[in-house]
Amino acid sequence: MTALTRHPGECRQLQRTGLRQAIFLLAGPFRLLWRPLSSAFVALLAWVDEWIWGMEAVTERISHARGRQLPLLLRAFGASIAPEVDLRQPFHLHNPQHRLRDLSIGWRTHIGKDCLLDLTAPITIGQTVTLAMRVTIITHLDTYYSPLRLEALPSRTGAVIVEDGAYIGAGAVILHNVTIGRCAVVAAGALVREDVPPYTVVAGVPARVIKTLDAHTLQPDHTQQRNQA
């Protein structure tokens, strides 16, 4: 079918497509203005939620916000979020103790979909880190009303640190009081309950070192990094 013999319905569809593209281009400057305004509005709603319901309501709103709104929203409640952080939704925060001041995420870090961060104790994620989808970071153990809490399994907490350049594979679980070293690799599905040395690869349940990386080939490009005040 040539352009001269197109069906009227097809012509109308082409016209609508062209109109949508024109509107999209014309609305470009307005979209750039709307993004920070909408993020600020979401932060305002979250403050109202905190005043009425507490931080649990804030974490629920965070899990439903758009990915582009997350950095401003997290900063509004005390988190340290560096520039160029890439956060994907859904993004889950659990049990914040001091609003979100216990969360720190460094420059150019990527956090994939469906990650869960437990803020019972501080979580520090360095620069250029990758958390693949469904990574879980747990900073406490609590058996609540079980008799195990008395002696067999007492409650405990511990901060988690993920140092610069590390990669955490999909579905991995990092337990409390663990440090993931610089440029270390945690394989998908691993359960990490002990510190991971820098420039190593760990895998399994529980995670064990399976490989050592060449640190000389993995030095970061400091010329591209920004100074974090």
Give the containing element (helix H, strand E) for 48: helix 28-53
pLDDT at site 104 = 97
Lowest mean pLDDT among 71-75, 105-109, 130-134: 71-75
Q: pLDDT category, 84, cuts 50, 70, 90?
A: very high
Q: Output 1 or 185, whichever has higher pLDDT.
A: 185
Question: What percent of the chain lies above the pLDDT cut of 90?
Answer: 55
Please tell me the pTM assigned to this model: 0.79
121-155, pLDDT tens digit by residue? 999 999 999 999 999 999 998 888 888 888 888 88
- Copy the structure tokens of residue 128: 């250029």
Q: Which of 112, 116, 118, 117 is nearest to 132 (CA)?
A: 112
Q: Output 32 or 156, whichever has higher pLDDT.
A: 156
Q: pLDDT category, 68, cuts 50, 70, 90?
A: confident
Question: What percent of the chain lies above the pLDDT cut of 70?
Answer: 79
pLDDT at residue 225 greater than cutoff 90: no
pLDDT at site 21 = 64
Q: What gap in Å lies between CA 4 and CA 195, rounded to an integer?
A: 70
DSSP structural state of residue 205:
T
Sequence spans of domains, the chain: 14-218
Q: What are the φ and ψ backbone dihedral angles of 159, each rounded to 5 degrees?
A: -70, 155
pLDDT at site 67 = 79
Crossing angle for the helix pair 28-53 and 8-26, nearest 10 degrees?
70
33-57, pLDDT tens digit by residue? 656 677 787 888 888 888 888 888 8
Q: Output 2 or 11, whichever has higher pLDDT.
A: 11
Q: What CATH superfamily is the domain 14-218?
A: Hexapeptide repeat proteins (2.160.10.10)
